[in-house]
């Protein structure tokens, strides 16, 4: 496959280095803006990630920010993935109002009403692989070098799936319904704000510099593993220079140096994960162990049995949400979107109450599970199967995006991402390699207790450092 034009190092280099140069007055921001604006236009024409694209601001930090087209941004229209619908908000979504020194320059593509299939985006790294997920444009824009950071939303894996398929990092934050103000929520009890960056280190830098934690309602909240600050279950981070684990310096002079305990999820039965995924899972576990962390086998308990219920809840919530919007929308919805809504209509009030009761009970139980297991995170594959090339899997026209128990591959289709979603937990997906001919992306995920985002980012960065993946090339 022929290689496409590549963005310059000025646009896709380490954000840590870029901002350090900026702070010293050594970063040529004018040259960066010119290159970024020119590249973004040409890259978007090739990869179709954006619904709107604006020139970068001279007054903001040199960070290009994209926002999913279900999130309100003053000065941009919100289209909800629809062809005709336009909403011009008078205020931005709450999560964006808390961002520090960040200016949005792109609205990025999503699927129809968050629940349809297909977005028109093209995977910048592996064109034969569909980017997937409703936050498709967020991942494609970052992978293509159009944005350094992109805001998405994650219901069942909507940020993590496209990030995994596009070779970038996707973080689902802790569920907080209040942060959905100004956002089209597909499923209010599972929807969470999500962020996409090229690397975990980029995300670590922006977490503090742009106040991503505060934007996600985590300012003043518990740190990794539940302890205050930058520590974990065993106390705050070491106040020493250097580290035997990662030694990553962070603002305030603290070092993320604590050894973590990671639970490798054993509920995944033998033979249910494809060999390439299983091998990558083992390699990732070995990488984290080599980085100084402790691994142990764990079960997620009853939560495992509710993965399919998360899809039912999402489908029913989509129906209820669309009912509130119906009078405002005159678009003719696609057969796939209509099929997904039809799946939600089959979830009656009795089943809905049963699912919500189970969700409330499990959220309390899962919080205790991390404490009981004395683990900081769970490690498991992003999906049980390797992503297939476009056209390799036959799909009935107009088939729903919602799996049903009578589907022959139901257990595989409900996947693993819903564990974090149903429990309202943060999770991070990160690339771990590729396999096959034609190539397919491999990604893992880490799920942590509520407000453990810093730990998840750090662990993903530690894994990346040991896996030593080559810098991706666009195609």
Kindly report the three-state secondary structure assignment for every residue of the chain. Answer: CCCCCCCCHHHHCCHHHHHHHHHHCCCCHHHHHHHHHHHHHHHHHHHCCEEEECCCCCCCCCCCEEEECCECCCCCCECCCCCCCCECCCCCCHHHHCCCCCCEEEEECCCHHHCCCCCCCCCCCCCCECCCCCCHHHHHHHHCCCCCEEEEEECCCCCHHHHHHCCCEEEECCCCHHHHCCECCCCCCCCEEEEEECCHHHHHHHHHHCCHHHHCCCCCCECHHHCECCCECCECCCCCCCCCCCCEECCCCCEECCCCEEEEECCCCCCCCCHHHHHHHHHHHHHHHHCCCEEEEECCHHHHHHHHHHHHHHHHHHHHHHHHHHHHCCCCCCHHHHHHHHHHHCCCHHHHHHHHHHHHHHHHHHHHHHHHHCCCEEEEECCCCCCCECCCCCCCCCCCCCCCCCCCCHHHHHCCCHHHHHHCCCEEEEEEEEECCCCEEEEEEEECCCCCHHHHHHHHHHHHHHHCCCCCCCC
| Most distant CA atoms of the chain, gap in Å | 62
Domain ranges of the chain: 9-467
- Burial letters 410-419, b for 16+ CB under 10 A, else e: eebbbbbbbb
- Quick: pLDDT tens for 86-108: 999 999 999 998 887 678 999 99
Average pLDDT over residues 448-460: 98
Q: Check residue 305 and give its pLDDT.
A: 95
Tens digit of pLDDT for each residue in 361-391? 999 999 999 999 999 999 999 999 999 887 7
* Residues 25-71 pLDDT 10s: 999 999 999 999 999 999 999 999 999 999 998 888 999 999 999 99
pLDDT of residue 248: 44
pLDDT at 406: 75
pLDDT tens digits, one per residue of 263-318: 999 999 767 899 999 999 999 999 999 999 999 999 999 999 999 999 999 999 99
Fold of 9-467: Amidase signature (AS) enzymes (3.90.1300)
Please give the share of the chain, as a percent, with pLDDT higher than 70. 89
* 410-450 tens-digit pLDDT: 788 899 999 999 999 999 999 999 998 889 999 999 999 99
Q: How far does CA 63 lie from the centroid of its chain?
A: 19
124: nearest Cα among 13, 11, 6: 6
Count of residues in the chain: 475
Asked if 223 and 258 count as a contact pair (C-beta separation under 8 A), the reply is no
């Amino acid at each position: 496959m022929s290689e496409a034009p590549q963005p310059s190092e000025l646009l896709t280099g380490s954000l840590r280095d870029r901002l350090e140069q900026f702070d010293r007055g050594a970063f040529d921001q004018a040259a960066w803006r010119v290159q970024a604006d020119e590249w973004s236009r040409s890259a978007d024409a090739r990869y179709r990630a954006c619904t709107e694209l604006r020139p970068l601001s001279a007054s903001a930090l040199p960070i290009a920010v994209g926002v999913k087209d279900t999130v309100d941004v003053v000065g941009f229209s919100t289209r909800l993935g629809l062809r005709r619908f336009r909403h011009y908000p008078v205020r931005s979504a709450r999560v964006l109002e808390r961002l520090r020194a960040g200016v949005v320059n792109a609205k990025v593509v999503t699927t129809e009403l968050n629940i349809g299939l297909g977005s028109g985006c093209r995977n910048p790294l592996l064109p034969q692989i569909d980017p997937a997920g409703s936050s498709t444009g967020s991942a494609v824009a970052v992978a293509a070098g159009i944005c350094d950071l992109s805001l998405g939303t994650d219901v069942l894996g909507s940020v993590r799936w496209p990030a995994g398929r596009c070779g970038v990092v996707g973080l689902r934050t802790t569920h907080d319904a209040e942060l959905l103000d100004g956002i089209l929520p597909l499923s209010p009890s599972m929807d969470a704000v999500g962020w996409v960056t090229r690397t975990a280190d980029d995300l670590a830098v922006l977490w503090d510099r742009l106040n991503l934690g505060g934007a996600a309602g985590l300012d003043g909240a518990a740190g990794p593993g539940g302890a205050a600050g930058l520590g974990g279950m065993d106390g705050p981070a070491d106040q020493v220079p250097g580290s035997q684990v990662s030694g990553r310096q962070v603002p305030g002079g603290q070092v993320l140096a604590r050894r973590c305990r990671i639970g490798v999820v054993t509920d995944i039965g033998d033979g249910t994960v494809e060999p390439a995924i299983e091998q990558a899972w083992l390699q990732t576990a070995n990488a984290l162990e080599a980085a100084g962390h402790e691994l142990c086998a764990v079960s997620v308990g009853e939560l495992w049995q509710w993965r399919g219920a998360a899809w039912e809840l999402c489908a029913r919530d989509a129906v209820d949400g669309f009912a509130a919007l119906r009078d405002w929308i005159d678009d003719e919805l696609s057969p796939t979107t209509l099929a997904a809504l039809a799946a939600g209509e089959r979830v009656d009030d009795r089943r809905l109450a049963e699912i919500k009761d189970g969700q409330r009970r499990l959220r309390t139980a899962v919080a205790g599970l991390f404490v009981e297991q004395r683990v900081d995170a769970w490690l498991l594959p992003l999906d049980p199967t390797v992503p297939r090339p476009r056209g390799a899997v036959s799909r009935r026209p107009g088939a729903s995006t919602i799996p049903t128990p009578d589907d022959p591959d139901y257990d595989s289709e409900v996947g693993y991402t819903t564990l974090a979603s149903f429990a309202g937990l943060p999770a991070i997906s990160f690339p771990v390699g590729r396999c096959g001919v034609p190539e397919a992306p491999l990604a893992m995920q880490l799920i942590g207790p509520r407000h453990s985002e810093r730990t998840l980012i750090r662990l993903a960065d530690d894994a990346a450092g040991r896996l030593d993946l080559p810098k991706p090339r666009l195609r």
